[in-house]
A and B are shown apart, each in its own frame.
Chain A
Amino acid sequence: MAEPNAAIVTRGLAKRYGRQVALDGLDLRVPTATVYGFLGPNGAGKTTTLRILTGLVRPDSGSVELLGRPFGRGERRVLFRVGALIEAPSFYPFLSGRENLRALAAAGGPVPRGRVDEVLDLVSLRDRAGDRVSGYSMGMRQRLGIAAALLNDPALLLLDEPANGLDPAGIVGLRETLRALAAQGRTVLVSSHILSEVEQLADVVGIIARGRLVREGPVAGLLAREGEVRLRVAPDEVATAGAALERLLGAGSVRRADDRGGVWLVARCDPARAADLNRQLAGAGVFASRIEAGATLESLFLELTGSARDGLGGA
Chain B
Amino acid sequence: MRLFGSHLRRLVRRPATLVTYLLLTGLILLIIVAVAAASQQVADPQSSLAARLILTFPSAWTLTLAMVVAVGGMLALTYGAAIAGAEWSWGTLKTAVARGESRARYTLAAIAGATVLAWAGTLIAYAAGIVGALASAAAVHITSATLIDAQTAGDLAGQLARTALAIAMDVSIGYAIATVARSQLAGIGAGIGLYFGEGIIGIFVPQIVKWAPFAATSAMLGGGTTAVAGAASAASSARLDPDLAVVVVVAWLVLAAGFAAVWTERADING
Contacts and interface: CB of A to CB of B under 8 A. Distances in A.
B270 A107 contact: no
B95 A104 contact: yes
Interface in B9-59: 9-10, 13-15
B10 A86 contact: no
Interface string A87-100: 11011111100010
Residue of A54, A57, A90, A93 contacting most chain B CB atoms (<10 Å): A90
Q: Is the interface of B mostly helix, strand, loop or mixed?
A: helix
B100 A56 contact: no
A213 B108 CA distance: 40
Interface stretch (B86-94, B115-123, B200-208, B214-222): B86-94
A87 B269 CA distance: 12
B1 to A, nearest CB: 10
Contacts of B90: 90-93
Taking residues whose C-beta sits less than 8 angstroms from the other chain, chain A's interface range is 20 to 34
B223 interface: no
Contacts of B99: 79-80, 104, 107-109, 151-152
Given A80-B100, A82-B100, A104-B95, A87 B271 contact: yes
A67 to B, nearest CB: 12
Interface string B93-104: 011111111100
Contacts of A79: 98-100
B98 A56 contact: yes
A29 interface: no
Contact of A51 (B5, B9, B101, B270): B270
Given A77-B100, A94-B14, A102 B92 contact: no
B269 A56 contact: yes
Given A57-B268, A57-B269, A86-B94, A109 B100 contact: yes
Interface of B: 2-3, 5-6, 9-10, 13-15, 86, 90-92, 94-102, 106, 268-271
Interface of A: 51, 54-58, 76-80, 82, 84, 86-88, 90-95, 99, 102-104, 106-109, 148, 151-152
